[in-house]
Structure 1
């Protein structure tokens, strides 16, 4: 008999990046890399577990921007071109390194990987949303939603209609794609403020995920800390992140992904190969970039890139199995100890960015595969669960008021509001005011209806927390600035045109083709609650 429960939660999200107006935009490759290195490898794990009779349980968010991009024909076509270039490059690498035994072995390994990726891509008719949905239908995977464009909700709370639009549009988009309403939501950046739970309840959501300290500092103090969810006064459950299990994976100092035998992320063929050799595969702009073909291991935390040893996926897989066993043992001990103190089954919730597994930590999908298999066969101290199943099994929980929080730096809102990105918020707030204002309009014709809906799309896209996050990290800042400004400028033009009663139909059609997210959006989502 199990003493408690363990819930692995993955947050699958990328900002909406789609540029039909350009033949090539580097940032579109964020999606292509994630498909190759995270989403399809996770599908391979799920397929293997299902094939072998392991009744695995996992919770996974799939955000509306990600779902929209995965189902977009233009991006699907461009991914196929991206994958074809990889296949061509790795075939060239096999021939180029025919007298370099280990590099040739690795190139052949990647060739097999890319072949399997293509096979899966084609088997699901390029529709990875459909692929994940089959595991939702079998109740192995609980897919949850997020904010419509991952807007940072606490910094929008002075405009409740804007928060409501992020939630309502997301829930409607989920139902369009998965054929049912979502049960849960990953609050963007796990950022919670008091009162948002009432909107979640109004949207029909049963639970949300937040950082552990948001639960620990709830009022009254939860009796079981973060090892049981709480119910808010609105009736929506809040699950908190477990610090101990998170640190084992996330920590740059003691986390598993830093092991010396694992693949080195920052030493890539796109930067290592001679320029004229690699140039055809980094076109059309000719700037060096990551290809995903990496031949070296971490070797040492202190080693420079020139001192990295050659990678061997065999030993890396063995290490992933060892780490999965260690993680299982630690959860077993943790849950047994907690059960002895709590006198009820504890729940350990471990949420991570999905892209950590495969993209940043190449061996991450292997780790998940071994963890589920070892948890199924090698222990009986805890049951793997997803969050919807847990609430069905344990419907009675303490009622508390969570504390304002996020999973960002220092646990509050500082990462998304600081000297690098504060300039965007007066513009976003003005946009929210204007959108609420024009949401009262009734369109005189089809053109005004389209313009009102496009205005809602543009504001939602400008509100994405990804842009403020990128500005703070200092990477790809010009792109984040450009995206924020372009969406706000498009929104403001639509606002002015609507107020003047003369919508530019040709310009609107172009913008609709570029920013085509949420085809069934209704701008009335911004009307007062």
Structure 2
């Protein structure tokens, strides 16, 4: 698989990459990564897409093979077919694990074949069919972070962020109720507000603040998204739209292109 940590932004001489990086003199990941994972050594072999795709197919088959084995074992013990909930950290796919999306596609394609014992089903459709007979349980509060709890995301370094984020969520709900189902400019304005709130809610910001890796960047991003939301909130409280600001904001933050601000309406 492709090696995430080896990038020309750090491998090549500064004179070569300087014209192409964000801030002159500061090395960053560029996305150009020419090496494959090659064990515990700095001497990496060149990345080959064909070999990586062969490994994707192998690992997808192995994944389903192990699901089948575990299913057979549990089925014998439970006297019924087991249901596995497959949860993936999507942030890994295409990023830390460059081929992760390809792997997931292969798993889905293989599982759809008639010869496969494993069959895919959505949680909602399964619960609609068999949910009434299932025992319900309350999951324990846990995370994948250090210690398995919330210490990483709720710490002296980042606790200050939550009161501001929660206030933005509260005000976004207020806007969604007061101005439900708007069209044209007001709809775009409110969609941008929702976009800014979601970006402010990203767990990356408290994570970075805790790790002290790029604290100025994380703090700046968080404050900017909250400030942008307040632009919309202040204007909408006066039943107005700042069109010039909106056009610039939509070009700056183009994520969630199909967002609908009404998702924040608690009455829906």
TM-score, length-scaled by structure 1: 0.40
Given the alignment of the two structures, is residue 511 of structure 1 paired with residue 249 of structure 2, yes or no? no
DSSP-derived class of the 1:334 partner:
helix
2:61 alignment counterpart: 325
Shift of the alpha carbon at 1:422?
0.4
2:225 alignment counterpart: 487
**Any idea what the Cα deviations from partners look like across 1:324-362, whole Å, max 9, x if unmatched?**
332222111100011111112111122113342333223
Shift of the alpha carbon at 1:428?
3.0
1:356 alignment counterpart: 92
1:453–1:523 CA contact under 8 A, matched in 2: no
Given the alignment of the two structures, is residue 415 of structure 1 paired with residue 152 of structure 2, yes or no? yes
Higher relative contact order (CA 8 A, sep 6+): 1
1:436–1:526 CA contact under 8 A, matched in 2: yes
2:203 alignment counterpart: 465
2:6 alignment counterpart: 267
DSSP-derived class of the 1:296 partner:
coil
Counterpart selection for 2:163 from 402, 418, 426: 426
DSSP-derived class of the 1:297 partner:
coil
**RMSD (Å) for aligned C-alpha atoms:** 4.1
Given the alignment of the two structures, is residue 521 of structure 1 paired with residue 261 of structure 2, yes or no? yes
Q: What is the total number of aligned residue pairs between the two structures?
A: 254
Given the alignment of the two structures, is residue 336 of structure 1 paired with residue 109 of structure 2, yes or no? no
**CA distance in 1: counterparts of 2:264 and 2:49, whole angstroms:** 53
DSSP-derived class of the 1:383 partner:
coil
2:38 alignment counterpart: 299
**Any idea what the Cα deviations from partners look like across 1:190-249, whole Å, max 9, x if unmatched?**
xxxxxxxxxxxxxxxxxxxxxxxxxxxxxxxxxxxxxxxxxxxxxxxxxxxxxxxxxxxx
Given the alignment of the two structures, is residue 316 of structure 1 paired with residue 55 of structure 2, yes or no? no
For the structure 1 residues 293 and 345, does the alpha-carbon distance in structure 2 shift closer, same or farther, using more than 3 Å as the test? same
TM-score, length-scaled by structure 2: 0.70
**CA distance in 2: counterparts of 1:295 and 1:452, whole angstroms:** 42
**CA distance in 2: counterparts of 1:292 and 1:513, whole angstroms:** 29
**CA distance in 1: counterparts of 2:188 and 2:91, whole angstroms:** 35
1:269–1:291 CA contact under 8 A, matched in 2: yes
Gaps of 5+ in 2: 251-255
Gaps of 5+ in 1: 1-261
**CA distance in 2: counterparts of 1:441 and 1:295, whole angstroms:** 52
For the structure 1 residues 452 and 371, does the alpha-carbon distance in structure 2 shift closer, same or farther, using more than 3 Å as the test? closer
2:253 alignment counterpart: none
DSSP-derived class of the 2:74 partner:
helix
| Aligned positions of 1:129-528 closer than 5 A | 262-280=1-19, 282-283=20-21, 285-286=23-24, 287-300=26-39, 302-303=40-41, 305=42, 307-372=43-108, 374-375=110-111, 380-391=116-127, 394-409=130-145, 410-431=147-168, 453=190, 457=194, 458-492=196-230, 508-516=242-250, 521=261, 525=265
Question: Where is the strand percentage greater, Structure 1 or Structure 2?
Answer: 1
